[in-house]
Amino acid sequence: MLPTLESRIAEPDLKRVYDAVVVGSGAAGGMAAHVLTSQGLDVLLLEAGKKLDIESELKSMEWPYDHPRRGQMPYTSHALTRNEYNIRQPPYAKGMPWKTVYSYVQGWSGTDYSKNIVVDEKDHPYTGTSYAWVRARCLGGKTNIWGRLALRLSDYDFKAKSHDGYGEDWPISYADIAPYYDKVDLYLGISGHPEGLEHLPDGRFQRPVRLTVAEVKLRQSMARSGRVLTPYRAGVTTDGVKHNKYRSRCFGRGACNRRAGGCDIHAAFDSPTGLIYPALDTGRLTLRTGSIAREVTVDPAAGKARGVSFVDAQTGEVLEARAKAVVLAASTLESARLLLLSKSRQHPNGIGNSSGHVGHNFCEHLMGPGVGGIVKDLVGKARTLDDGRPGSFYVPRFRNLKDKRSDYIRGFGFEGGAGTKMFPARVQAPGFGKEYKKTVRDYAGASIGMSAFGEVLPRYENAVGLDPEVKDKWGIPVLRFSFKFGDNEKKMAADMADTAKEMFEEAGIEVVDSNREVLTEGWSIHELGTARMGSDPKASVLNQYQQSHDVKNLFVVDGSSHVSASCQNPTWTIMALCWRSCEHLADELRKGNL
Amino acid sequence: MTTLSRRDLLRLAAAGAAAPLVPRGVAEASAPAVPLAAGRFFTAAEMALVDELSELIIPADEHSGGARAAGVAAYVDGRLAEYDPAIPELRESQEQWRAGLLAVDALSRQATAKAFLEASVDERNALLSRLAVAETDPKTPEQSFFVELKDWTAHGYYTSKIGIHDEIEYKGNTLQGEFAGIDVATLPPVKPVGD
């Protein structure tokens, strides 16, 4: 029997100077804890939220009828609606009568299973322009419920400026990061099918998910125009990872379609079981939850980072953790907030911000356009098992690779799926009675849909800053957004919708929904780029090792370092980059360079 | 949830106010063998009406049981009973259901001179068809009530044992050694072009 995790969590010694203090326990923070402890460093990990008893939260196989509210969170809680994001301004929860207000993700199915993972908007306000900001404050953060699409970037992304002249190239190329993608693949497990695409490099894949009849039909049709539909590349171990006793291989169970998701056997990667518990087992990691970072403290003599000042969530006490190196992994926007909050004599605009670029060049993925359809020859057919897959399919980018369009630059991909889900797809069918019931039944296995994720260009003017007045529950100034999609995004969105519809029609799929509307900024939960890397300290915040140009012992290892968003989901790149940077950090620490 | 203005709710309530909801007479053949008791939110009469309306929307057929067998009325009742009236949207939803049921009965009396549960099956279906005409863009409070009624009925039904297992015959939420479906390795490879 394993010792309980609690028995291995020691209260940190705050008089001690750790080798590194890491802020945040999601994909980046977990990876930093794993790599730094593997390198022999003594690490303190601070997490703002609680450690949840995650298996009893997620209950991945619970049937809706075995739950008192059919899986719904208590009715006194409210999830912000699409319309509320349109007609209200942040802070969205202000003045709302609900006991708890959540972001839109709690408007999906199975919300009782994720209600303790995502934040209450009332306690965590922000201001400025419309933005659907989704946050999870608990051990593991958003990795507890992430969508699991695990993709690599390529030199079409890292060298995008060289390709089309816009923005900045990354200070690394694919060859620099490829070995680290491999390490992430092998350590955590990834499911996929190799396609040999230059712009979406293959990984070290485990067993892929299989496709439904409708998905094969679409794949074969798209192949005629040289476009690819590939089984969902999931950050899920389908064959198991023998070196990790906390995780099971995927057994193709049912709740993968329940979103916000979560996997209670941890076949899907989550930071606690994938990274943090094994790091605790090294004896070199100390974990402190309920620790809300408010500032990177500075050594007044040297101007270097001294540690992290944080609020104890239980007592409200302000404490300081000291370390030789400070590693921020609090998420793209929270890390930028921390840098801006860390004002001192040496760093009057916030630590690491001599360039003035912290909070700027904020980018992400555009969502909304997509298509839903019916495969006629599957209507009324005998039921098959189509569910229990960690994901269904992905259509990689095909735009602006060889040719260049005149109307917009960069590209988009599609995520989609087909087949029978636990809750049938066409309950919105018109009418009532026997005919309605039969329609829902006959169409349940014949539905297919996909929606686009497109690159939002980094622009200096898209930014977050500190609000001069509004503070959160702990008295810490909140972020003020100034972020809008631009012309390139609008033109891309029109093409996404047209192309999706065309591809369905070419495959002989009857289109029943064609979505053209762009969702509120933030919807993709892929915010990136507020502390970008670069070789020029005047135009970037971090070097190629996610190390502050200004402060040598300060690293920012999350999505804030990304120079551009690409159109691929960022989690796998966040972890590969973090691995590379933390090896560098350990090396530099040993050499006495920090 | 369809949001009604307060004025809509008042109109909806007024439509039903002339005829309080007291079903009399013999129930039709499709009614439950054992009359429903009062729920936690609904009166016994309201429960009977919700039960019948839900069954009209998703009836038993040769394939599987309907909303009645799936206990949709109890699901709706349980949900409304847990709604905290201190929260305006939840109170309005409770009011909409009460007023909506009154309105259904009042419309039935207007059309057939009988309470809804006393009307014939054809008369009930005819009345529901009138409410359903504008379901994608409801104009009147009664039409909005139909949208809500159908939405909750579908949710209650398709998350029930009967809905998931008997009706949809959903095969997932089970352990699989290998994923079901078609192995992509058996398909011809794609020669990517890229635009």
**What is the helix (H) or strand (E) element at residue A324, kind and residue range?**
strand A318-328
Query: What are the chain A neighbours of B128 within 8 Å (beta carbons)?
Result: 432
Characterize A59-75 residue by residue with b for buried, 16 or more Cβ atoms within 10 angstroms of its Cβ, and e for exposed. Answer: bbbbbbbeeebbbbbeb
**Best CA proximity match to A291, nearest among A471, A122, A45, A472:** A45
What's the gap in Å between the CA of B77 and the closest CA on chain A?
Answer: 12
CB pair distance less than 8 Å for B194 and A398: yes
SS3 A197: coil
Q: Which of B170, B177, B182 sits opposite A422 (nearest CB)?
A: B170
Residue A572 CA to residue A192 CA, distance in Å, equals: 13
Q: Read off the pLDDT of each residue in B36-60 and give the average, rounded to a whole number.
A: 96
* Structure confidence at residue B181 as a pLDDT band (50, 70, 90): very high
Here the tokens at position B2 are 């369809």
Instruction: Outline where A195-311 has alpha helix (H).
Output: 213-223, 271, 277-281
Q: What is the pLDDT of residue A543?
A: 98
Name A430's Cβ contacts closer than 8 Å, sequence gap at least 6.
A436, B132, B135, B136
Residue A428 CA to residue A513 CA, distance in Å, equals: 12
* Structure confidence at residue B2 as a pLDDT band (50, 70, 90): very low
Question: Does the pLDDT of residue B51 top 90, yes or no?
Answer: yes
Question: Does the pLDDT of residue A510 top 50, yes or no?
Answer: yes
Q: How many CA atoms, within 13 angstroms, populate the side-chain half-sphere of residue B51?
A: 25
Name A90's Cβ contacts closer than 8 Å, sequence gap at least 6.
A125, A126, A127, A128, A129, A130, A131, A481
CB pair distance less than 8 Å for A222 and B190: yes
**Best CA proximity match to A368, nearest among A404, A407, A411, A415:** A415
Q: Which of A75, A385, A432 sits opposite B150 (nearest CB)?
A: A432
Which residue is it, tokens 């001179």? B113
Q: What is the pLDDT of residue B190?
A: 81
Q: Which of B84, B150, B169 sits opposite A76 (nearest CB)?
A: B84
- Residue A139's identity, in one-letter code, is L
CB pair distance less than 8 Å for A433 and B59: yes
CB pairs under 8 A between A and B: 196
Mean of per-residue pLDDT scores for chain A: 95
User: What percent of chain A shows pLDDT beyond 70?
Assistant: 98
SS3 A489: helix
Residues belonging to chain B? 195
Q: What is the pLDDT of residue A1?
A: 42
- pLDDT (tens digit per residue) in B110-152: 999 999 999 999 999 999 999 999 999 999 999 999 999 999 9
CA closest to A219 among chain B residues: B190
Which of A117-121, A169-173, A555-559, B6-10 is least confident?
A: B6-10
**What is the helix (H) or strand (E) element at residue B39, kind and residue range?**
none
Residue A48 CA to residue A336 CA, distance in Å, equals: 16
For A362-394, the DSSP string reads -B-EEEEEEEEEE-GGGTTPPP------S--EE
For A449-469, the DSSP string reads EEEEEEEPPP-TTSEEEEEEE
Which of A247-261, A480-494, B53-67, B112-126 is least confident?
A: A247-261
Residue A294 CA to residue A292 CA, distance in Å, equals: 6
Residue A325 CA to residue A557 CA, distance in Å, equals: 12
Q: What is the pLDDT of residue B33?
A: 54
Determine phi and psi for A19, rounding to 5 degrees.
Answer: -65, -40
Cβ pair A274, A265 in contact under 8 A: no
Query: What are the chain A neighbours of B87 within 8 Å (beta carbons)?
Result: 76, 97-99
Residue of B127, B168, B179, B187 to mutate for A, most A C-beta atoms under 10 A: B179
Residue A395 CA to residue A372 CA, distance in Å, equals: 15
Q: Read off the pLDDT of each residue in A126-151 and give the average, rounded to a whole number.
A: 97
Dihedral of CA atoms A284, A118, A387, A496 in degrees, nearest 10, equals -110
CA closest to B58 among chain A residues: A433
What's the gap in Å between the CA of B87 and the closest CA on chain A?
Answer: 6
Cβ pair A256, A110 in contact under 8 A: no
Q: Which of A65, A226, A231 sits opposite B194 (nearest CB)?
A: A226
SS (H, E, C) B142-157: HHHHHHHHHHHHHHHH
Residue of A407, A408, A437 to mutate for B, most B C-beta atoms under 10 A: A437
Q: Read off the pLDDT of each residue in B66-79 and give the average, rounded to a whole number.
A: 98
Count other Cβ atoms within 10 Å, centred on residue A201.
Answer: 18
* DSSP letter, residue A206: B
Which residue is it, tokens 């993925």? A365
Residue A18 CA to residue A149 CA, distance in Å, equals: 34
Question: Does the pLDDT of residue B14 top 70, yes or no?
Answer: no
- Quick one: residue A431, left, alpha or beta (phi over 0 = left, psi -120 to 50 = alpha)? left
CB pair distance less than 8 Å for B192 and A387: no
Q: What is the pLDDT of residue B130?
A: 95
Characterize A104-131 residue by residue with b for buried, 16 or more Cβ atoms within 10 angstroms of its Cβ, and e for exposed. Answer: bbbeebbbbbbbbbbbbbbebbbbbbbb
The residues facing A297 across adjacent strands are A307
Cβ pair A533, A543 in contact under 8 A: yes
* Structure confidence at residue A335 as a pLDDT band (50, 70, 90): very high
What's the gap in Å between the CA of A296 and the closest CA on chain B?
Answer: 41
Q: What is the pLDDT of residue B26?
A: 38
Q: What is the pLDDT of residue A187?
A: 98
Q: What is the pTM of this model?
A: 0.94
Instruction: Outline where A160-212 has alpha helix (H).
Output: 160-164, 174-188
Q: Which of B59, B79, B195 sits opposite A401 (nearest CB)?
A: B195
> At CA A240, angle to CA A235 and CA A241, rounded to 5?
85
Query: What are the chain B neighbours of A224 within 8 Å (beta carbons)?
Result: none
**Best CA proximity match to A530, nearest among A343, A356, A348:** A356
